[in-house]
Structure 1
Amino acid sequence: MTRLTAFASAAAITLALTSHQAVAEMKTEIVDYQIGDETFSGFMAWDDSVQGKRPGILLVHEWWGHNDFVRDQAKKLARAGYTAFALDMYGKGKLAEHPDTAKQFMQEATSNFDQIKNRFLAAKELLEEHETVDGDQIAAQGYCFGGAVVLNMARSGADLDGVVSYHGSLSSPMKAEQGKVNARIQVYTGGADKMVPAEQVAGLVEEMQQAGVDLTLVTFPDVLHSFTNPGADEYAEQFGLPVGYDEEAAMRSWQGTLDFYNQIFDQ
């Protein structure tokens, strides 16, 4: 009995030390940065146990703003071996709690493309300069509003290896041009997404085919908008929005994203 208790205690100590070590390896940092006269607040995450430089991934938030959801996604990427920077498109402190405010913030940010582009590229430069990042290996992923942003950055010819859009708007006044898009593109969308109807999906495929872009598009049948966000069901109930979390679609799109990054970064 005594020996068994001692063994259990030793195992508990080992587990505690292992858990502490795992926590210690995950590094996160809130990064305040200036663009012109405005302050923005991003979130950097990386695993300190990974040796050497590694690819960097930019994350662009939903229309609600830079919140815990996008930070959690950055941590997941860090655990997968990347350095992730969840950027801020709205400005420090601009976090919406109501769709009307979210719409206002989004419209302000997208009032002209140069503003969006400058905010994206400023964050990209911060990520590239991080001590853990190989600046020649950068991708971007975005959610809803953020999905539209990363697609437009690809259309604009931004120096990115890959772009992933989750339930993002697929139509844009800006169109991909032959030879201009550098990034390979993945898109995940819901078949029942009222905000991204079938015409948008078909339009994106035609656009990217005509421009000769490497596009992979996955549609999940009967899945609503914001399917990656566990908080989507609460938004639906509180505000009557046509959104909803789908665990399987979230899991499959995440695994597909990791496989995509393995391919484009030859890992």
Structure 2
Amino acid sequence: MTIVSNTVGYLDGDIHLEAYFAFDDALEGQRPVVLICHAWGGRDEFVAEKARKLAELGYVGFAVDMYGKGVTGSGPKENAKLMQPFMEDRALLQKRILAALSAVKLLPWVDEKRIAAIGFCFGGLCALDLVRSGANIAGVVSFHGLLIPPSLPTKKIMAKVLVLHGNDDPMVPVDHVLALASELTDSCEDWQIHTYGHTMHAFTNPVANNPDFGTVYNKHADKRSWQSLLSFLDEVFC
């Protein structure tokens, strides 16, 4: 196993973006790719580490950039400021994530017929909006993602969908979960929502430890959700 990682630039209009990717150079030929959508703070070491973990499993891990090359937030106030334009303009969000999908298909190691996307928090919303746009990919997984529906009409969802949600997540009220279930029933042939009891927002992030804000790491939900992801990828890439 020889894990190689690097960054690659791409464009959304005149916005310069920079993704981080990793793959096992000891493997030959093209292989499935997993797009990884970052949380509200921007493309950081958390998603880079996920890219490397996926590379160790034989995938190309591709951590997308939603904000622009080198743009990351320094805390909740700045993170919210960076995220807000995409929350207010979901067409902009879908255009930006589709730019990442176009970029990853240019990598020579990628089998463009076997693409999935995952996302964390804000990134979960990005991953879901990618398939809401009608993108023809194999599957999408949201980890403690925001589930606010877009004002845009949802196109037929081609992918299988898996949503991994904390029951005590204060940022995702029950009505958002129910609304998503109703939306997916109408637009998606194969969907799942897994809810973890006594689990708050950001349950996969080991540094999340702010119960007053609603972000708390949960090692059991973290492990279970990762295992669910791996089983899901085995299924959609078979």
The bucket for the TM-score relative to the shorter chain is over 0.9
After superposition, the Cα gap between the structure-2 partners of 1:117 and 1:211, relative to the gap in structure 1 and judged at 3 Å, is closer
Q: Does 1:66 align with 2:43?
A: yes
After superposition, the Cα gap between the structure-2 partners of 1:71 and 1:212, relative to the gap in structure 1 and judged at 3 Å, is closer
In the alignment, which residue of structure 2 is the partner of 1:205?
181
Mapping 1:163-202, distance limit 5 Å? 163-174=140-151, 180-202=156-178
Normalising by structure 1, we get a TM-score of 0.84
Given that 1:155 and 1:174 are in contact with CA atoms closer than 8 Å, whether structure 2 keeps it comes out as no
Higher strand share: 2
Deviations 1:99-139 (CA, angstroms, capped at 9, x unpaired): 11111100123442332222212211221121111111111
Amino acid in the other structure paired with 1:264: V
Larger radius of gyration: 1
Q: What is the CA distance between 1:36 and its match in structure 2?
A: 2.5
After superposition, the Cα gap between the structure-2 partners of 1:194 and 1:216, relative to the gap in structure 1 and judged at 3 Å, is same
In the alignment, which residue of structure 2 is the partner of 1:106?
83
Given that 2:115 and 2:138 are in contact with CA atoms closer than 8 Å, whether structure 1 keeps it comes out as yes
| 3-state secondary structure, aligned to 1:196 | coil
Q: What is the CA distance between 1:32 and its match in structure 2?
A: 2.4
Q: Does 1:232 align with 2:211?
A: no
In the alignment, which residue of structure 1 is the partner of 2:190?
214
Q: Does 1:35 align with 2:48?
A: no
Instruction: Give the Cα–Cα distance (whole angstroms) in 2 for the partners of residues 36 and 154 of structure 1.
Output: 21
| 3-state secondary structure, aligned to 1:206 | helix
Amino acid in the other structure paired with 1:209: T
Gaps of 5+ in 2: none
| 3-state secondary structure, aligned to 1:181 | coil
After superposition, the Cα gap between the structure-2 partners of 1:112 and 1:212, relative to the gap in structure 1 and judged at 3 Å, is closer
Q: What is the CA distance between 1:174 and its match in structure 2?
A: 4.2
Q: Does 1:125 align with 2:99?
A: no
In the alignment, which residue of structure 1 is the partner of 2:214?
242
Q: What is the CA distance between 1:176 and its match in structure 2?
A: 7.0
Deviations 1:27-46 (CA, angstroms, capped at 9, x unpaired): 00012223332221210111
Identity of matched residues, %? 37
Given that 2:91 and 2:152 are in contact with CA atoms closer than 8 Å, whether structure 1 keeps it comes out as no
Amino acid in the other structure paired with 1:106: M
Instruction: Give the Cα–Cα distance (whole angstroms) in 2 for the partners of residues 29 and 46 of structure 1.
Output: 9
Deviations 1:229-255 (CA, angstroms, capped at 9, x unpaired): 11212xx28xx5210111111111111
Amino acid in the other structure paired with 2:33: G
Aligned to 1:147, which of 124, 130, 147? 124
Aligned to 2:112, which of 110, 135, 139? 135
After superposition, the Cα gap between the structure-2 partners of 1:176 and 1:264, relative to the gap in structure 1 and judged at 3 Å, is farther
After superposition, the Cα gap between the structure-2 partners of 1:174 and 1:184, relative to the gap in structure 1 and judged at 3 Å, is farther
Instruction: Give the Cα–Cα distance (whole angstroms) in 1 for the partners of residues 152 and 138 of structure 2.
Output: 19
Deviations 1:44-103 (CA, angstroms, capped at 9, x unpaired): 111112222111111110001111101111111111110011011011222111111111
In the alignment, which residue of structure 1 is the partner of 2:237?
265
Amino acid in the other structure paired with 2:229: T
Given that 1:56 and 1:128 are in contact with CA atoms closer than 8 Å, whether structure 2 keeps it comes out as no
In the alignment, which residue of structure 2 is the partner of 1:85?
62
Which segments of structure 1 move beyond 6 Å, counting only runs of 4 or more? none
Amino acid in the other structure paired with 1:259: S
How many residue pairs align between the two structures?
238
Given that 1:176 and 1:208 are in contact with CA atoms closer than 8 Å, whether structure 2 keeps it comes out as no
Given that 1:89 and 1:109 are in contact with CA atoms closer than 8 Å, whether structure 2 keeps it comes out as no
| 3-state secondary structure, aligned to 1:260 | helix
Given that 1:164 and 1:257 are in contact with CA atoms closer than 8 Å, whether structure 2 keeps it comes out as yes
Gaps of 5+ in 1: 1-21
